[in-house]
Amino acid sequence: MSKRILNVVGARPNFMKIAPIHRLMLNSEKFQPRLVHTGQHYDAAMSKVFFDELGLPEPDAYLGVGSGSHAYQTAEVMKALEKIMLEERPDLVLVVGDVNSTLAASIVAAKLCIPIAHIEAGLRSGDRTMPEEINRILTDSIADFLFITEKSGVENLKREGIPGEKVFMVGNVMIDSLVMHLKKAQASIILEQLGVGERGYSLATIHRPANVDNPENLQKILTAFHEIQKSIKIIFPIHPRTRKMIQTFGFQNQVDQMQNLKLIDPVGYFDFVKLMEKSRFVLTDSGGIQEETTFLKIPCLTLRENTERPVTIEIGSNMLVGMNPAIIIQQGQQIIAGKWKNSQIPELWDGHAAERIIQILTEKL
């Protein structure tokens, strides 16, 4: 009998991760997948565009929880998902990544004794002030199938006493989506639309609360951008949280005065992949973008003190530069001068992670 699976997503980085898994499940007689979108992200540019581009069907259920404090958002997802899980009694709840929707779905499933699969398990930044770190630790502690993207995940879970038989090193589903859609992304005309040429710009995305909800840190980042844009254009597709905080802290004038910094709305996946692939380098605090730039071998300066994705530093094209403008500027100049490390693509980041996940679930469920 085919297994009923509830695939739960909520925020932008979830969509790239679920797409290859949901597609394979839809094409298999062994699974009856249902897709639930919590509505944590709801702007068309943060949600619908990804469903369209990644070929995801309309969600079977849309919970419309929207924005709010951590407790509010998590609780709203839990209340709405509990009804669905009680009605549908799925054989498995599958969650991806580390957002509030991931944790909320996992808690509900665990209390209803429904097995949980966590995609991208085991990542740890070691920084418990990050909401995502709490979501990761708690989700992994109650998951039944922990699918790992890089070796550090296996070590972290071992240290936390998670039994080895629950842990599966399968590679990176985010890279599955990248491999699958790279050709389509390469056909994007975003460079022409923005009037930039190959390697003639850097690409920035910033949205972590530690960076943008704190005026001193946001100021440091803007100071670094101010200096860098004197040497190379910066394309900055701005996350809604960051746009809001720039206005709240009265930094809009500063941003407007940077003539070589182009602030744009968040872009769709194909445009963003094209922008990454053709950039001189990327400035980011995103989790997923550290991985995508590693796969694309594009220099990435990560504006954080730590990363839950150490393989991108150890063998990939990523470097942690923290929040110190002098270091950010200095490393940007190194790259512009043509100096950067040689990098490699991590093990099993080969476009086939979802197939390995499906194989394991087929055997074990």
Which residues contribute to the site for ligand UD1 (CB under 6 A)?
A: 11-13, 40-43, 46, 67, 98-100, 131-132, 207, 239-241, 244
Distance CA 224, CA 325 (A): 5
Using CB under 6 A as the binding rule, whether residue 10 contacts ligand UDP is answered as no
Applying CB under 6 A, which of residues 59, 288, 325, 332 lies at the interface with ligand UDP?
Answer: 288
- The residue with tokens 């110190």 is 324
Using CB under 6 A as the binding rule, whether residue 20 contacts ligand UDP is answered as no
User: SS3 string of 301-347?
Assistant: EECCCCCCCCHHHHCCCEEECCCCHHHHHHHHHHHHCCCCCCCCCCC
Nearer to ligand UDP, 115 or 310 (CB): 310
- 267 interface partner picked from ligand UD1, ligand UDP, none, CB below 5 to 8 A per type: ligand UDP
- 90 interface partner picked from ligand UD1, ligand UDP, none, CB below 5 to 8 A per type: none
Name the nearest CA neighbour of 328 among 181, 250, 227: 227
The catalytically annotated residue of 207, 226, 239, 352 is 207
Using CB under 6 A as the binding rule, whether residue 266 contacts ligand UDP is answered as yes
For 297-307, b/e burial (b = at least 16 CB within 10 A) is: ebbbbbbbeeb
Q: Closest distance between ligand UD1 and the C-beta of residue 135, in Å? A: 6
DSSP tag of 142: H
Beta-bridge partner residues of 235: 203, 262
With H, G, I as helix, E, B as strand and everything else as coil, classify residue 77.
helix
Nearer to ligand UDP, 201 or 269 (CB): 269
Using CB under 6 A as the binding rule, whether residue 12 contacts ligand UDP is answered as yes
DSSP tag of 190: H
Using CB under 6 A as the binding rule, whether residue 316 contacts ligand UDP is answered as no
Beta-bridge partner residues of 8: 36, 95
- 240 interface partner picked from ligand UD1, ligand UDP, none, CB below 5 to 8 A per type: ligand UD1
Applying CB under 6 A, which of residues 92, 191, 258, 267 lies at the interface with ligand UDP?
Answer: 267
What residue type is assigned to position 8 of the chain?
V
- 59 interface partner picked from ligand UDP, ligand UD1, none, CB below 5 to 8 A per type: none
Residues sharing a CB contact under 8 Å with residue 66, sequence separation 6 or more, in sequence order: 39, 40, 42, 73, 76
Using CB under 6 A as the binding rule, whether residue 107 contacts ligand UDP is answered as no
- 244 interface partner picked from ligand UDP, ligand UD1, none, CB below 5 to 8 A per type: ligand UD1
Helix boundaries (H) for 190-248: 190-194, 209-212, 215-228, 240-248
Q: Closest distance between ligand UD1 and the C-beta of residue 245, in Å? A: 9
Specify whether the CB–CB gap between 66 and 90 falls below 8 A.
no
Q: Closest distance between ligand UDP and the C-beta of residue 298, in Å? A: 12
Applying CB under 6 A, which of residues 145, 269, 295, 349 lies at the interface with ligand UDP?
Answer: 269
Residue 226 is a catalytic residue: no
Question: Which window, 221-229, 269-277, 307-315, 318-326, contacts ligand UDP (CB under 6 A)?
Answer: 269-277
DSSP tag of 48: H
List contacts with ligand UDP (CB under 6 A).
12-13, 16, 205, 237, 266-269, 272-273, 286-289, 292
Residues assigned a catalytic role: 207
